[in-house]
Amino acid sequence: MEINTLLTYIGRNCPALSCWLASLETDQSDRVCRDLLDTANPRIAVGRVEDLLGTDGGETVRTILRDERLRRVFLTTVGGSRFLFSILCRIPESLAPLFLQEGCSIRKTRAIMERELRETYEGLGNSKEFDRMLRVYKEREFLRIGCRDLNNLAEVEEVMAELSDLAAAGIESAIQFHWKRLTEKHGTPEGLEQGLGFVALGMGKISGRELNFSSDVDLIFIREPEEGRTQGPEPIPIAKFYESLAQSVSRSLSDVTEDGFVFRIDLRLRPEGEKGELVPSYTNALDYYLGWGRTWERAALMKAAPLAGDRKLGKDFLQELEQFVYRKHLDYSTLEEMRIMKLRIEAQLKKKPGVNIKLGQGGIREIEFFVQALQLINGGKQRRVRSASTLEALDLLRETGLLDKQTTDALRSAYRFFRKTEHRIQINHQLQTHELPRTPEDQEELARRLGYKEEPLKHFLADLDYHRRVVEELFSSMFHHSDEEILDRISPEAKRLIETIHDESVCKNLLEQLGFDDPLSAYAVLKNLVIPTDRKIPSEKARVLLSRLAPLFLDELLTVPEPEKALVALDRYIDSLFAHSSYFSTLLENPPTIRFIVKILGESRFFTDLLVRHPQAIDSLIARGAEEFPKSRETLESIVTERLAYSEDLEAEMDVLRTFKNEEILMIGVKHLAGEIDSPTARALVTELAEVCLCAAIDLAVKEMTRKFGEFDFLDPLPFVVLGMGKLGGREMTYLSDLDVIFIYECPEMQIGRFSTHEWFTRLANRIISILSVPTAEGTVFSIDTRLRPSGNKGPLVSSLDSFRDYHEATSQLWEKQALLRARPLSGGPDLVQQVNCIVRDCITRTRLSSDDVKEIARLRGRMETELALEDDLHVDLKTGHGGLVDVEFLVQAHILKHAYHFPEIIKNNTLEGLSALRDAGIIDECAFESLDFGYRWLSNLEDRLRIMEHRSIDRMPLTGEKLRGLALRLGYGEGGEDRLISDYFTITGTIRSIYRAFFGEPLARAPRT
Reduce the secondary structure of 948-993 to three states and give it as a string. HHHCCCCCEEECCCHHHHHHHHHCCCCCCCHHHHHHHHHHHHHHHH
The end-to-end CA distance of the chain, in Å, is: 104
Please calculate the CA angle 583-287-620 and round it to the nearest 5 degrees: 25
Band (95; pLDDT cuts 50, 70, 90): very high
Please calculate the CA angle 524-527-533 and round it to the nearest 5 degrees: 115
pTM for the structure as a whole: 0.54
**What's the rounded Cα separation, in Å, for the pair 877 and 36?**
86
Q: Is the pLDDT of residue 884 over 60?
A: yes
**What's the rounded Cα separation, in Å, for the pair 805 and 401?**
59
Burial 92-121 (b: 16+ CB within 10 A, else e): bebbebbbeeebbeeebebeebbebbeebb
Asked if 367 and 471 touch (Cβ cutoff 8 Å), the reply is yes
Band (567; pLDDT cuts 50, 70, 90): confident
Phi-psi domain of 884 (left: phi exceeds 0; alpha: psi -120 through 50; beta: other) = beta
Amino acid at 625: G
**What's the rounded Cα separation, in Å, for the pair 97 and 103?**
6
Q: Is the pLDDT of residue 211 over 70?
A: yes
Average pLDDT over residues 256-272: 93
Count CB-CB contacts under 10 A for residue 661. Answer: 25
Asked if 489 and 552 touch (Cβ cutoff 8 Å), the reply is yes
Task: Quote the longest CA-to-CA distance of the chain.
Answer: 123
Count CB-CB contacts under 10 A for residue 913. Answer: 15
**What's the rounded Cα separation, in Å, for the pair 238 and 244?**
10
**Residue 833 CA, distance from chain mean position:** 39
- Upper half-sphere CA count for residue 945 (Cβ side, 13 Å): 25
Digit-coded pLDDT (tens) for 230-245: 998 899 999 999 999 9
pLDDT for the residue 30: 92
Band (373; pLDDT cuts 50, 70, 90): confident
* Residue bearing the bigger pLDDT, 98 or 587: 98
* Residue bearing the bigger pLDDT, 660 or 169: 169
pLDDT for the residue 1010: 40
Average pLDDT over residues 384-389: 90
pLDDT for the residue 480: 41
Q: Which residues pair with 742 in a beta bridge?
A: 723
**What's the rounded Cα separation, in Å, for the pair 247 and 177?**
13
Asked if 714 and 747 touch (Cβ cutoff 8 Å), the reply is yes
492 three-state secondary structure: helix
pLDDT for the residue 1008: 40
Average pLDDT over residues 751-777: 86
Amino acid at 719: P
Please name each of the domains of the chain with its CATH number.
Answer: 1-106 (no CATH), 144-325 (3.30.460.10), 354-478 (1.20.120.330), 481-627 (no CATH), 629-847 (3.30.460.10), 849-1000 (1.20.120.330)
**What's the rounded Cα separation, in Å, for the pair 502 and 707?**
63
Average pLDDT over residues 664-668: 88
Digit-coded pLDDT (tens) for 478-519: 654 333 332 345 555 666 777 788 888 888 888 887 778 888
Q: Is the pLDDT of residue 666 over 50?
A: yes
751 three-state secondary structure: strand
State the DSSP code for 956: E
Burial 702-719 (b: 16+ CB within 10 A, else e): bebbeeeeeebebeeebb
189 three-state secondary structure: strand
Average pLDDT over residues 917-946: 93
Q: Taking the alpha carbons of 914, 919, 920, 923 in that order, is the dihedral positive or negative?
A: positive
pLDDT for the residue 1003: 45
Got the DSSP string for 20-55? HHHTS-HHHHHHHHHHHHTSS-HHHHHHHHHHHHTS
- The alpha carbons of the chain give a radius of gyration, in whole angstroms, of 36
Instruction: Give the lowest-confidence range in 198-202, 317-321, 967-971.
Output: 967-971
Average pLDDT over residues 115-136: 91
Average pLDDT over residues 421-446: 90
Helices (H), 268-404: 282-292, 295-302, 311-320, 322-325, 332-349, 364-378, 390-399
Please calculate the CA angle 217-218-221 and round it to the nearest 5 degrees: 115
Helices (H), 81-152: 82-90, 95, 110-121, 127-150
Q: Is the pLDDT of residue 52 over 90?
A: yes
Residue 50 neighbours by CB under 8 Å, 6+ apart: 13, 14, 15, 16, 17
Mean pLDDT of the chain: 86
Average pLDDT over residues 373-387: 78
Digit-coded pLDDT (tens) for 140-156: 999 999 999 999 999 99
pLDDT for the residue 713: 67
Q: Which residues pair with 821 in a beta bridge?
A: none
- Checking DSSP bridges between strand 720-725 and strand 824-825, what pairing results, if any? antiparallel
Count CB-CB contacts under 10 A for residue 484. Answer: 11
pLDDT for the residue 191: 81
pLDDT for the residue 314: 95
* Residue bearing the bigger pLDDT, 567 or 173: 173
Band (330; pLDDT cuts 50, 70, 90): very low
Asked if 252 and 190 touch (Cβ cutoff 8 Å), the reply is no
Count CB-CB contacts under 10 A for residue 473. Answer: 11
Helix, strand, coil share (%) of the chain residues, nearest 5:
65, 5, 30
Digit-coded pLDDT (tens) for 74-89: 999 999 999 999 999 9
Q: Taking the alpha carbons of 317, 323, 324, 326 in that order, is the dihedral positive or negative?
A: positive
Asked if 641 and 657 touch (Cβ cutoff 8 Å), the reply is no
pLDDT for the residue 324: 85
3-state secondary structure labels for all residues of 521-558:
HHHHHHHHHHCCCCCCCCCHHHHHHHHHHHHHHHHHHC
Band (168; pLDDT cuts 50, 70, 90): very high
**What's the rounded Cα separation, in Å, for the pair 930 and 76?**
96
**Residue 854 CA, distance from chain mean position:** 47
Asked if 522 and 511 touch (Cβ cutoff 8 Å), the reply is yes
Instruction: Give helix 127-150 / helix 68-80 axis angle, nearest 10°.
Output: 120
Number of helices (H) and strands (E) in the chain: give both, helices first: 45, 15
Digit-coded pLDDT (tens) for 519-548: 888 888 888 878 877 777 656 767 777 777
